Structure 1
Amino acid sequence: MERGRLILIIVGITILLVAIVVAIAVPVSLNNKSKRDSDLARQYMREVPLIDGHNDLPWQLVIYEDNDLSRIDLNQRPTFNVTHTDIPRLREGLVGAQFWAAYTYCTSQYKDAVVHAIAQIDVIKRMVQEYPEVFEFVTTAQGIRDAFENGKIASLIGVEGGHNIDNSFAVLRAFYDLGTRYMTITHSCNTPWADNWKEDFEPEDQHNGLSEFGKDVIREMNRLGMLVDLSHVSVDTMNDALDVTEAPVIFSHTSAYALCNHYRNAPDSVLRRVKENKGIVMVNFYTLYINCPPNNVTADPSYATLAQVADHMDHIKEVCGWECVGFGSDYDGIDTAPEGLEDASTFPALVTELIQRQWTEEEIKGALGNNFLRVFEEAEQVSRDLKANGMKPKVATLPRDEPDEANNVCRTYMYGTSFY
């Protein structure tokens, strides 16, 4: 009897000791794995540039500092506003290339949008020149690679909103000559030739997508080698652009409608077409575009998590293919960012999450930058081919009465030698 009790005690002690060892060992093992994954993420990011498709820091500069760079030092965290971006955080986030947005309000349309857009292009270029040890202004896919090899953050310009060209192919070409390498076809307003995303829930049926002039804008962008950005446009505009373009398109900061039914996101029907087009969807971090129905029926749209952003990347990968996925944070253009992705320093955490979701090295390096570089190089090749085949610059103009006289009170029109 005593011997039996002793055996039971020994067995109990053994089980307890095993439980203690497991309780200690499992978290240590998980922590070790997490560290290995984090280290691997950083390794990948040192081998391939993380290309972020959209950052609105230039808008913060004009709103709070009137584009006067002497008032700020980007080597420190800006004090003029709660921002997501500065040089230390870009470096900590291992950002390899950044598209800086040249954005202007829709209210400038038909008035002085061109002036404001050029001012934003100017402040981006001056910002890059102010910190030559950090930034390098580039305009090509190879330029991104070269800057990355030199330890610089490749800096590119995307003009946000087709209203900024003021219905002028001449302005579009001038923007390209100034270094613009994508244009978002609309912002949150229609142009006289393209419908924005609000048409999908507040329809005015102005164009049902792109007008004929709008289709010519896409063709001219193809000829120039300027990327067609379909963030902010209506689904009809997405489809019309995909019908017309000869080059791959981008969504510089857009997420998946199937996971969050906000009209700024891309539906699966469009994602499947982007796969055929061999374009790219660079996932937006804005909480309102990440955490909403149908997958989050009771969700608070002012709150989202890093894991939910990864869910969007997973979904786009599933529907559009891993070659279709990219990063498009929209930092400093959003007022709420996901937990875990609070600012530009946090990109490695998202890459670590993808590793933990069993994304392969090729898939992760694709999302980091290789997918975008492929798209950019293809657009460059389409431009060369179109020019070699004799395509000439577009010179069409819109009639004076489009969209209406009330919106044209700030304009003059020239026909021959007469001004009206």
Structure 2
Amino acid sequence: MIRIAAAFFVTSCLATGPVAAQDRADAVAAAALEAAPVWDGHNDVPIQLRARFDNRINDFDFSDTLDTATDVRAAMHSDLVRLRRGKVGAQWWSVYVSASLPEPEAVQATIEQIDVTKRLIEANSDAMALALTADDVEAAMAEGKIASLMGMEGGHSIGNSLAVLRQMYAMGARYMTLTHGRTLDWADSATDAPRHGGLNDFGMDVVREMNRIGMLVDLSHVSEEAMHDALDVAGAAVIFSHSGARAVTGHLRNVPDSVLARLPQNGGIVMVVALPWFITEDLRQHAANKAAEEARLKALYPGLPGTVAAELARWEANNRQPASTISDMADHIDHVRDVAGIDHIGIGGDYDGMPTGPVGMEDVTGYPALFAELARRGYSQADLEKIASRNMMRVMREAEAYAASRSGVAPIEYAVGAPRAAEN
């Protein structure tokens, strides 16, 4: 009898141990993603189409891109099969073009990226649906298709023109990241020298006009001062389409607590990024140390690139690159929740715009593992549904409602070329 009782006790302990707890977390995550599939804030497939295929995609098979690896490029992170495995139900596709382009060329290139994205969606219309409104997203998800939206990454894509901004919206762009890596005539980038202390007057009018027409204001990539300036004038909720929490990883691309604390009043969300150097402080520090060592070696051995390369390889062998993990990404989600609240979190992977995601989330199939980690940390199914897509749906509906309330307001007008002339 004693043996039977002891065996029952051991069995009970096993049933409530780590394996059972992980099984419960997996079940909670699976239920959440079934009810509310991931609405991802940023994916760079369109620039991959440009860089790899010159936008010639008539024969491109998006169902499986694992065969896209070359001698110089890893395989793409995204395809229809893997998006399904990752439980992605809606995707913001970035129509990014390089901020180094002269702005008239950037405008043309952005239009080309809108075109190739629409063609990709149309060519895969059995699995994807162009979405221009929150209702479109809801309808596509109900049909089992991946709702496909377009976001511009960087205000260089409008060439200092609110008229171009409005026409980009007419072509289907539904968010714009105010800057990319370069400070513009009207907005400071987080990773370039500031010129305006945030946004200048024209930059604030860009935000106002985006709100008026219903285009979401994306504050990833902008300086902290520009974030605050945008929040000062925004009438609708903002997004950070792919950013982390700066208090967790100090990269300037991440969102500081001073801004997170303002999100409840604004209603906006931080769509937490998977890019390892943004979410893992040890990795960020390692990259900085490597850059410093390379600069030191070049100063020591000018004109001897072979020696520099050999010595740098020796340094790398003795200073192994730290790993970035799913837990690191979850730490950022925890911090955004702690400062801003559960209603202000989303997911913005940045796949196909980075070398790899964290270990276990190397490509778009990794989202269920992330949500299981969050469930293990105590997030409820309702919490996970908000993070997956319900918060993003709320933000888009609020932006649409605000634009509808401004339907009688005239467009903001400038004389042609005036913003640039005023800046110079």
Give the alignment's TM-score, normalised by structure 1.
0.86
The code of the aligned residue for 2:326 comes to: L
Distance 1:394 1:382 in 2: 20
Within 5 Å, which residues of 2 pair with 1:332-411?
A: 332-388=352-408, 390-396=409-415, 397-398=417-418, 401=421
Is the CA contact 1:190–1:196 (under 8 Å) kept in the aligned structure 2?
yes
- Within 5 A, what are the aligned runs for 1:184-195? 184-195=177-188
Shift in Å, 1:142: 1.3
| Bigger-Rg structure (1/2) | 1
Q: 1:249-260 alignment to 2 at 5 Å? A: 249-260=238-249
What does the per-residue CA deviation read over 1:113-168, in whole Å, with 9 as the maximum and x for residues that have no partner?
Answer: 01100111111100000011110001111111111111000000000000000011
Cross-structure match for 1:286: 275
8 Å Cα contact 1:106/1:188 also seen in 2? yes
Structure 1's 182 and 302: CA in aligned 2 closer, same or farther, altered over 3 A? farther
TM, length-normalised to structure 2:
0.85
Distance in 1, Cα, partners of 2:322 & 2:214: 37
Q: Does the CA-based 8 Å contact 1:288-1:302 persist in structure 2?
A: no
Secondary structure at the counterpart of residue 243 of structure 1? helix
1:279-329 CA distance string (max 9 Å, x none): 000000000001116999999776310011001000000001000010000
Partner of 1:418: none
1:383 to 1:281, Cα distance in 2 relative to 1, 3 A: same
Query: After superposition, where does 1:183-332 map in structure 2 within 5 Å?
Result: 183-199=176-192, 203=193, 205-292=194-281, 303-332=323-352
**Cα distance in 2 for residues equivalent to 1:313 and 1:295:** 18
> Does 1:126 find its partner at 2:119?
yes
Q: Partner residue of 1:72?
A: 60
Aligned mate of 1:168, from 161, 164, 167: 161
Instruction: Structure 2: state its 5+ residue gaps.
Output: 70-74, 290-318
Structure 2 residue matching 1:112: 3-state secondary structure: helix
Root-mean-square deviation (CA, aligned residues, Å) is 2.6
Shift of 1:33: 3.5
Letter matched to residue 245 of structure 1: A
Alpha carbons of structure 1 residues 302 and 142: separation in structure 2 relative to 1, 3 Å = farther
SS at match of 1:40: helix
CA distance in 1 between partners of 2:338 and 2:105 (Å): 43
Structure 1 CA distance for aligned equivalents of residues 97 and 327 of structure 2: 32
- Higher relative CO (Cα under 8 Å, sequence separation at least 6) belongs to 2
Moved over 4 A (4+): 17-21, 293-302, 399-404
SS in 2 for 1:248: coil
Distance 2:62 2:252 in 1: 34
* Native 8 Å contact 1:287 1:301 kept in 2: no
In 2 relative to 1, CA 350–387 (structure 1 residues): closer, same or farther, beyond 3 Å? same
Relative to structure 1, is the Cα distance of residues 85 and 188 closer, same or farther in structure 2, using a 3 angstrom cutoff?
A: same
Answer yes or no: is 1:154 the counterpart of 2:147.
Answer: yes
Matched pairs, number: 387
Unaligned stretches of 5+ in structure 1?
A: 1-10, 405-420
Q: Report whether the alignment pairs 1:84 with 2:80.
A: no
Please, which of 11, 22, 25 is the counterpart of residue 37 of structure 1? 25
Report the AA paired with residue 157 of structure 2.
Answer: N
Amino acid at match of 1:224: I
CA separation in 2, counterparts of 1:322 and 1:20?
Answer: 40
User: Which residue number corresponds to residue 316 of structure 2?
Assistant: none
The residue matched to 2:245 in structure 1 has which SS?
A: coil
Q: Distance in 1 between matches of 2:136 and 2:383?
A: 23
Provide the C-alpha distance between the structure 2 equivalents of 1:184 and 1:213, rounded to a whole number of angstroms.
15
Q: How many Å apart are 1:261 and its aligned residue?
A: 0.3
Distance 2:14 2:141 in 1: 39
Percent identity of paired positions between Structure 1 and Structure 2: 40
